[in-house]
Structure 1
């Protein structure tokens, strides 16, 4: 029991995404909880795809005892006009309602890929400001993420510019290591961001050095991500996490790992891989580990990836 509490303490601040695991929601939650995680990043399909309905899914999350890291994902919201804008506002209201039912205080919004969206940063900022105001009554923050294949916003630096233009108290950034690696965005620009405006950090790696084309980026992102420490970009991921820590970021790290192989594996095995990655980051990178019985360190019990 002492060992389990120590693992859970070391994993504080780390969680994983339901997209990494196969099977029903309840089984995913149990696998995460048994691996030692205390939080989970949820997606809309977890709710609407539940056989007993989305309210039953909400109750399953509450029963699990796992805290909701956040809720995803609102796509292609900013830059639209007319009936397209009205449609997306309706979608956003529904997403916010589900997010609130889960007691998640972060809704993830990805930069637009729509050819129908304006590329004017001021219009995008106005739309994101409107979204953030819709979220205020729910007590929800909007984390805006620059997709590496976004039409106008494909890097966190550009996403930060739009967030600054929007100037909204509950609008900030999601930093995603995959998109930084895929776009080759310099990490030193992180120092220009207010750490209080970083609402979520998503971590993953992949197995080759480059994703050169947009099509390759999308395919890699959706099928071939791996946990930090398992890919070929370990050094920049370490550098990114250490920069964020030095900046004063104290929010959550969530493993967003889309992987076709992992969804063919037993849930406990995949959850343990995530646990090993989190323990490596906590113990070897961030030096957050808690003493185990007989003064053993976490890495001697769970080998680093």
Structure 2
């Protein structure tokens, strides 16, 4: 019997080990119909970018988005020209997969300016490069970003850039790590939220940028598995209330999951999607407790 489709939810390929085709098949067996792709999936594919893009198309899975362009904005001179070239190449890869959203993360470079107007100008340039390819740019504030490390500031520069295909990428990890008040979501136009990535983690505090980076890159868990279940449910409900009707993708960097069979990890993602769909969005009071996994 086929797994129940999980409309509106997808997995990131970075969560799973193995070749791209195996990742796509595991996601489909778990009931997912969309996938957040990583540039590395294409760049490291034995058949090259064209073969990887063909595998995505053959799977029938819809790309949620394509990640990730880093440290693009705020640079000058030869560094700026270098990053523009990188951005053009990534946009071509994004288009090859059929993805319509490129994720760009806020800069961590000490060489980047902290001038918000200059940052906005660079983001506008990136968005203009994406227009001929029919791609939208989702700009995400990393919680260890040099200048922009909260979604409130990333929304500020998106508004300054004032380009229709430039919007926000929201990531629950960075929101909780930075402790950004969720009330600030009420100030955002839901139509300019192009992507929402969800994950949790196992401790309440990440006081330093170094700890945030380590946790984010090695020990995220699926929604409902960590200690922020109540906050995560609140985040999703608030997004629902302001009118967000876009996709949710599980961006779970976890070294343990990289050592487990694909179907085991995809099943965990499926339980998270069902928790969000059935227990959070369909009940007046979300379950704040940790997602219960079946006993082994």
Give the TM-score range, shorter chain: over 0.9
Once the two structures are superposed, what CA deviation does each residue of 1:241-288 show, in whole Å capped at 9, x if it has no partner?
A: 000001110000000000000000000000000000001101111129
Aligned counterpart, 2:241: 246
Paired with 2:281 and 2:10, the residues of 1 have a C-alpha distance of: 16
Q: Tell me the CA shift for residue 304 of structure 1.
A: 5.1
Q: Is the 8 A contact 1:176 1:203 kept in 2?
A: yes
Matched, 1:28 2:23: yes
Aligned counterpart, 2:115: 120
Q: 2:55 aligns with which of 38, 43, 60?
A: 60
Aligned counterpart, 1:166: 161
Query: Gapped runs of 5+ residues in structure 2?
Result: 284-290
Aligned counterpart, 1:294: none
Q: Is the 8 A contact 1:163 1:172 kept in 2?
A: yes
Q: Tell me the CA shift for residue 155 of structure 1.
A: 0.2
Once the two structures are superposed, what CA deviation does each residue of 1:144-194 show, in whole Å capped at 9, x if it has no partner?
A: 000000000000000000000000010000010000000000000000000
Aligned counterpart, 1:196: 191
Once the two structures are superposed, what CA deviation does each residue of 1:66-92 show, in whole Å capped at 9, x if it has no partner?
A: 100000000000000111100000000
Matched, 1:212 2:211: no
Matched, 1:83 2:78: yes
Paired with 2:253 and 2:37, the residues of 1 have a C-alpha distance of: 13
Once the two structures are superposed, what CA deviation does each residue of 1:34-72 show, in whole Å capped at 9, x if it has no partner?
A: 000000000100001001111100011111111000000
Secondary structure of 1:71's match? Answer: strand
Paired with 1:24 and 1:185, the residues of 2 have a C-alpha distance of: 36
Secondary structure of 1:128's match? Answer: helix
Paired with 1:51 and 1:73, the residues of 2 have a C-alpha distance of: 21
Paired with 2:292 and 2:241, the residues of 1 have a C-alpha distance of: 23
Paired with 1:127 and 1:52, the residues of 2 have a C-alpha distance of: 34
Secondary structure of 1:108's match? Answer: strand
279-288 vs 47-56, which moves further? 279-288
Aligned counterpart, 1:151: 146
Paired with 1:250 and 1:270, the residues of 2 have a C-alpha distance of: 26
Change beyond 3 A, Cα 1:61–1:280: same
Paired with 1:115 and 1:27, the residues of 2 have a C-alpha distance of: 39
RMSD (CA atoms): 1.1
Aligned counterpart, 2:89: 94
Q: 1:141 aligns with which of 121, 136, 139?
A: 136
Paired with 2:162 and 2:259, the residues of 1 have a C-alpha distance of: 44
Q: Tell me the CA shift for residue 212 of structure 1.
A: 1.0
Aligned counterpart, 2:286: none
Matched, 1:103 2:98: yes
Q: 1:69 aligns with which of 64, 70, 76?
A: 64
Once the two structures are superposed, what CA deviation does each residue of 1:116-137 show, in whole Å capped at 9, x if it has no partner?
A: 1000000000000000000000
Aligned counterpart, 1:40: 35
Paired with 1:31 and 1:73, the residues of 2 have a C-alpha distance of: 22
Matched, 1:278 2:273: yes
